Amino acid sequence: MIKTGVDPAKEEKIAYICRQFRIPGDMILCRWIPNGHINEAYYAAVYDGWEVKQYLVQKINTYVFREPVGMMRNIDLITQHIMDKEKTIEKRRRLHFHHTESGKNYLVLKDGTAVDEDLDPLADGVEYWRLYNFIDRSVSFETSGGNADVLRMSGKAFGRFLQQLQDFDAGQLIESIPHFHDTRKRLDDFFDVVRLDLMDRVKEAEPEIELIRKYRKFGCTLCEQIDQGLLPIRVTHNDTKTNNILFDRNTLDPLVIIDLDTCMPGLACYDFGDTIRFAACTAEEDEKDTGRMKLDLNLFRAYTEGYMGELADVLTDREKESLSLGAAVITLELSSRFLGDYLIGDKYFRIDYPEHNLVRAKAQLALFTDMMKHMDEMKEIVAEVSAAASGCENL
């Protein structure tokens, strides 16, 4: 075993998990992967006597994903649908989740030992794990870095993902996180947290709380459109950050969308809006200097070009009109989630320092405020790009 700083007991555990997923050979390398807010992840290289094969091994965060069995069934259905639809798709463009001897694409451990039954994911000593192929010669980007080409290709990737699933019945899927983008409920829950003030932190965030209160009704706009039947429910990714796309290292061609945990029924505009929130801005999502957090309209345009190049003939007119609104609504929603998590003691998002979630909330509210100033310009760009792309499969 090559020494990488991973605890020997953890290395032994990851090797054991690989065997449970019927991976032949000996693990020769194990590395912890620090990226991501939610799941615990490891890279594993296994030598089978002929070649070294690479895998990603993840422990599912069952505090966040309370129904890991249903979530993994979602992933099975989605990945199989895409492979059935595009039978000639090359291996590097597939996510393949390996199965245990009993045919499950997840593994249940009880006190470190595999069991062939589904147990309460929140019970003491119970863990849920999964293993899938590592995409070789790929790269991901934590942010766009202000690169319009990265944003354009990101739009193409997430647009293609939605296009591949346009004929998939979203009713087959469970909500892996119930009410995930129910902004009305998110804001109701947020103000419940404010009222309770369990950690005595509300006084530290009064300006931010009042800004969210001011735009509470605006935040419910998309929920109202769903209630009125104005927007179709599709299979959406719901975590459309640039770091959830793997690109070819040399060409920057998007290869595959990863982190399918939050795939469930949803709105296209939330997926579109989350990338804009995360990547079409002038600073990172946890920027401490809120004056640096602005919407970059050039990056907004680039992403829209890639996205609409795949979806101009798929989305309804009402959906196209909702895209800019989705960017602002989801930014407000996530502001409330970051701040709400801070107020209850940082239970959901992984933090690097005590005020991390408060800093995130302030940065997102600054971005939301700037988006509202540029809403008309955003809508004009979407309309212009959509008109140019209409009738074309790719830009």
Position 3 in a domain: no
What the block records as the tokens of 78 is: 């989605």
**163 plus 297 within the same structural domain:** yes
Give the residue from 174, 169, 168 showing the smallest Cα distance to 74: 174
Q: What is the domain-level CATH number for residue 71? A: 3.30.200.20
Give the residue from 116, 16, 109, 4 showing the smallest Cα distance to 59: 109
- pLDDT, the chain, mean: 92
* Among 103, 121, 136, residue at a domain's last position: 136
Position 41 in a domain: yes
The answer, yes or no, to whether residue 250 has pLDDT greater than 50, is: yes
**318 plus 375 within the same structural domain:** yes
Position 154 in a domain: yes
Please tell me the distance from the alpha carbon of residue 259 to that of residue 265, in angstroms, as a whole number: 16
**290 plus 382 within the same structural domain:** yes
* Among 106, 136, 166, residue at a domain's last position: 136
For residue 391, what pLDDT is reported? Answer: 57
The answer, yes or no, to whether residue 326 has pLDDT greater than 60, is: yes
Position 241 in a domain: yes
Q: If 0-12 CB within 10 Å is exposed, 13-18 middle and 19+ buried, where does residue 119 land?
A: middle
Q: Which is more confident, 109 or 139? A: 109
Q: Are the beta carbons of 247 and 276 closer than 8 angstroms?
A: no
**108 plus 143 within the same structural domain:** no
**164 plus 120 within the same structural domain:** no
The sign of the CA dihedral 174, 178, 181, 182 is positive
Neighbours of 365 (CB within 10 A): 24
Q: Residue 61's Cα: distance from chain center in Å?
A: 14
Domain count across the chain: 2
Position 394 in a domain: no
**342 plus 369 within the same structural domain:** yes
What the block records as the tokens of 340 is: 């709400």
For residue 366, what pLDDT is reported? Answer: 98
With a CB cutoff of 8 Å and minimum separation 6, the contacts of 87 are none
**83 plus 168 within the same structural domain:** no
The answer, yes or no, to whether residue 185 has pLDDT greater than 70, is: yes
Q: Are the beta carbons of 19 and 26 closer than 8 angstroms?
A: no
For residue 84, what pLDDT is reported? Answer: 85
Q: Are the beta carbons of 320 and 179 closer than 8 angstroms?
A: no
Lowest mean pLDDT among 35-39, 67-71, 130-134, 237-241: 35-39
With a CB cutoff of 8 Å and minimum separation 6, the contacts of 393 are 309, 310, 313
The answer, yes or no, to whether residue 218 has pLDDT greater than 80, is: yes
The one-letter amino acid at 63? Y
Position 221 in a domain: yes
For residue 3, what pLDDT is reported? Answer: 44
The answer, yes or no, to whether residue 143 has pLDDT greater than 90, is: no
User: Which uninterrupted H or E stretch holds 140?
Assistant: none
What percent of the chain stands above pLDDT 90?
81
The answer, yes or no, to whether residue 393 has pLDDT greater than 50, is: no
Position 239 in a domain: yes
Instruction: Give the model confidence (pLDDT) of 162-171 as tens digits.
Output: 999 999 999 9
**156 plus 104 within the same structural domain:** no
Position 1 in a domain: no
Please tell me the distance from the alpha carbon of residue 286 to that of residue 284, in angstroms, as a whole number: 5
**226 plus 369 within the same structural domain:** yes
Mean pLDDT to the nearest integer, 335-344: 98
Give the residue from 179, 191, 150, 166 showing the smallest Cα distance to 81: 166
**60 plus 157 within the same structural domain:** no
**100 plus 33 within the same structural domain:** yes
Query: How many helices and strands (H and E) does the chain possess?
Result: 12, 11
For residue 2, what pLDDT is reported? Answer: 46
The answer, yes or no, to whether residue 175 has pLDDT greater than 80, is: yes
CA of 196: how far to CAs of 13, 193, 217, 233, 334, in Å? 41, 5, 21, 34, 20
The answer, yes or no, to whether residue 373 has pLDDT greater than 60, is: yes
Q: What is the domain-level CATH number for residue 158? A: 3.90.1200.10
Q: Are the beta carbons of 295 and 374 closer than 8 angstroms?
A: yes
Mean pLDDT to the nearest integer, 174-182: 90
Q: Are the beta carbons of 268 and 357 closer than 8 angstroms?
A: no
For residue 231, what pLDDT is reported? Answer: 96
The answer, yes or no, to whether residue 395 has pLDDT greater than 50, is: no
Q: Are the beta carbons of 342 and 364 closer than 8 angstroms?
A: no
394 band by pLDDT with thresholds 50, 70 and 90: very low
Give the residue from 45, 38, 39 showing the smallest Cα distance to 1: 45
With a CB cutoff of 8 Å and minimum separation 6, the contacts of 373 are none
Mean pLDDT to the nearest integer, 88-95: 73
Domain holding 50, by residue range, is 8-136
What percent of the chain stands above pLDDT 70?
95
**128 plus 150 within the same structural domain:** no
* Among 136, 161, 192, residue at a domain's last position: 136
Q: Are the beta carbons of 303 and 154 closer than 8 angstroms?
A: yes
Lowest mean pLDDT among 14-28, 236-250, 295-309: 236-250
Mean pLDDT to the nearest integer, 258-271: 94
For residue 7, what pLDDT is reported? Answer: 87
199 band by pLDDT with thresholds 50, 70 and 90: very high
